[in-house]
A and B are shown apart, each in its own frame.
Chain A
Amino acid sequence: MLHIVACIKQVPDTKIIKMNPKTNTMDRSSAPAILNPYDAHAVEEAVRLKQRYGGTVSVLTMGPPPAVKAIRKCIEIGADEGYMITDRAFAGADTLATSYALTKALEKIAREKPIDLIICGKMTIDGDTGQVGPGIARRLDMPPLTSVKKVVEINKEQGYAIVHRKLEDGYEVIQSTLPCLFSVEKEINEVPYSPLPNMLRAARYQPVIWSVNDLEDVDRSLLGLKGSPTIVAKVWPPEKPKGGEKLQGSAREQVNRLMEILAEKKELFRAKEGRA
């Protein structure tokens, strides 16, 4: 029986987030909070492994109280239990401080029920770093396996896992001892529509909620803003491109004009073809 923990995060949907043009800040109210899309695949993979090998799937998140919604989404996908750590002390954490806080929660979870496997999404769409998963693995002294796109085998009795790790030009088949941590690619699975019983359970579900005082052996200087070696010194809107020339006329006329332009710039494309 495996105990798998998926680490998840609630994020603003950055695809539709709006900028306030006056202040150059993000208008967070313009974007709905969603379960980080990569994390949905992490939870789905945990659920599939549970179906294959038996066991329990827990999910863990750090965030403000409304992040309970993201945990409920994971329950819909098929997670058994949810844990949330929420406290002002965690606020302003960069990836290093985040992995520290999550590790303290994972240690607490593991004291009750030892963890065989931790699964994270490849990255979050608001931070775009992918650094928290490997950070947790290092802190718990587990091998981090990033870019996992397929789980071949988990063998708890003999204490190993075999996965495919995505590379720039292919993949590698890698074996690791258990426990270990995966961060998974989107392509690892497709998240199907949730079955109705899961949705009903999720609607009523209350996760276990811990504040910093509920965690043990915490060095508070390593939490939140204080525990973060990096700071955001400034933000600014990306450079606005200068803008191009719009061709005039009918579709045919525009195409003809474009052909002239391409003919003028032929050299640009030729040079490399010649070398190839």
Chain B
Amino acid sequence: MNLAEYRGVWVFLEQQDGRIAPVSLELLGAGRKLADKRGVPLSGVLIGDQVRELAADAFQYGADVVYLYDDPIFRDYRTESYMRAVIACVQKHKPEILLYGATSTGKDLASAVATDLETGLTADTTLLDVDQETGLLEASRPAFGGNIMATILCKKHRPQMATVRPKVMKALPPDPNRSGQIVEERIHLREEDIRTKVLKIVRETSKKVRLDEADIIVAGGKGMGSKEGFQLIHRFAEAIGATVGASRDAVEAGWIDHQHQVGQTGVTVTPKLYFAIGISGAIQHLVGMQNSGLIIAINKDPDAPIFQACHYGLVGDAFEIVPLLIEALQEESDKEVQYGGKV
């Protein structure tokens, strides 16, 4: 493999319902930095059915080029069809780096593409850098349940690929004056060549807990003691209009569903306000919430690591403090209602 033939930074542009996924826009932001450092173009790979107009968004968020596969066969994401498009595009245009969002689609696609291209793939990256001279991608990620960080390199194969956790990289502010070049691509693919068929897609947006979009999260951990004890977290969250989060311990104890789990094996969150209650602060939890705007910890163990990771800490029994807090916050909101009434 002649590594020098491979040039440029690429982002797989995941799209759904007529918009580019937020994680892909974040990756354009991160990819722009890598591309500028290397002095190479940043390109997006856009695959779908009637998705051409999304290319303009990709340009506004930093892409120079969009490789477009626009065909009815790509209406639904399917590993086999999308994989073939990405592989064909890579083989034709030879990028040095290819990034995907670490979403169910991005991970599925990247794993298949990496195997066929026999190249390296780093999963769930949280830190990206590139060596300006060699072009070596330094993809770092938490490993062993978040106990350590590891930097992964892929020295002899191209493209260097990584999936990147949503909500970790920053999208650039969109520049409406920015445009780029659309390169139309085509592969010969018949429906009967694809062995899977999507029969139905069921969106559960109302039911689904959108922890990653919440402004305020109240999260409980092992310190809540029991499923009954954990109800206090629900009560507090309801009182202040927050979304309920949980540590892995609370989820594994069966006190709450996995979709509420914050951390390495759960969701990464960036609310404006995060309450960590009865959560000791294992690294695997911290990696999922440390970018929150304001972190308040309540724990009865003054030496709990969570106090190292919060902005303000309350040392004491959650079952004493939280009811007081609910009361105080409700008084506060009552005052505001009265104030609002006067106006």
Interface, chain A (partner B; CB < 8 A): 12, 14-15, 17, 19, 24, 26, 94-96, 99, 125-131, 133-135, 137-139, 143-147, 162, 165-177, 180, 186-187, 228-238, 240-247, 251-252, 254-256, 258-259, 261, 263, 265, 268-269, 272-273
Contact = CB atoms under 8 A, between A and B. Distances in A.
A230 B107 CA distance: 17
A238 B195 contact: no
Given A231-B153, A269-B216, A256 B316 contact: no
Contact of B199 (A173, A247, A254, A258): A173
Contacts of B203: 169-170
Interface stretch (B43-51, B57-65, B108-116, B171-179): B108-116
Nearest to B302: A246
Interface of B is mostly: mixed
A242 B310 CA distance: 9
Interface in B178-201: 195-201
Given A128-B143, A144-B79, A170-B205, A135 B114 contact: yes
Given A134-B111, A146-B107, A229-B154, A252 B198 contact: no
Give the size range of B's interface with the partner.
Answer: 35 or more
Contact of B150 (A19, A125, A166, A234): A234
A229 B79 CA distance: 22
B12 interface: no
B145 A17 contact: yes
A129 B103 contact: no
B93 interface: no
B148 A236 contact: yes
Interface of A is mostly: mixed
B272 A174 contact: no
B277 to A, nearest CB: 13
B307 A174 contact: no
A238 to B, nearest CB: 5
B193 to A, nearest CB: 12
Contacts of B264: 128
Nearest to B249: A15
A166 B202 CA distance: 10
A246 B108 contact: no
Interface stretch (B26-34, B230-238, B286-294): B286-294
A269 B215 contact: yes
A43 B131 CA distance: 43
A246 B148 contact: no
Interface stretch (B3-11, B66-74, B319-327): B319-327
B314 interface: yes
Contacts of B317: 251
A130 B163 CA distance: 11
B95 interface: no
9 contacts: A14-B147, A133-B111, A139-B115, A143-B196, A145-B196, A146-B79, A169-B203, A246-B307, A251-B314
A131 B265 contact: no
Interface in B199-230: 199-205, 208, 215-216
B156 A174 contact: no
Contacts of B154: 229-231
A128 to B, nearest CB: 6
B147 A17 contact: yes
Contacts of A175: 196-197, 199
A147 B328 CA distance: 43
Interface in B235-291: 248, 258, 264-265, 272-273, 282-284, 286-287, 290
B316 A251 contact: yes
B295 A244 contact: yes
Contact of A244 (B103, B155, B197, B307): B307
B309 interface: yes
A128 B284 CA distance: 12
A134 B148 contact: no
B91 interface: no
B324 A168 contact: no
B222 to A, nearest CB: 11
Nearest to B119: A229
Contacts of B311: 244-245
Contacts of A131: 107, 110-111, 114, 121, 123
Given A130-B123, A144-B79, A96 B309 contact: no
Nearest to B158: A229
A244 B295 CA distance: 9
Nearest to B215: A272
Contacts of A15: 145, 248, 282, 284
Contact of B111 (A19, A135, A229, A256): A135
A240 B197 CA distance: 47
Contact of A255 (B146, B198, B321): B321
B122 interface: yes
Nearest to B79: A144
Contacts of B151: 232-235
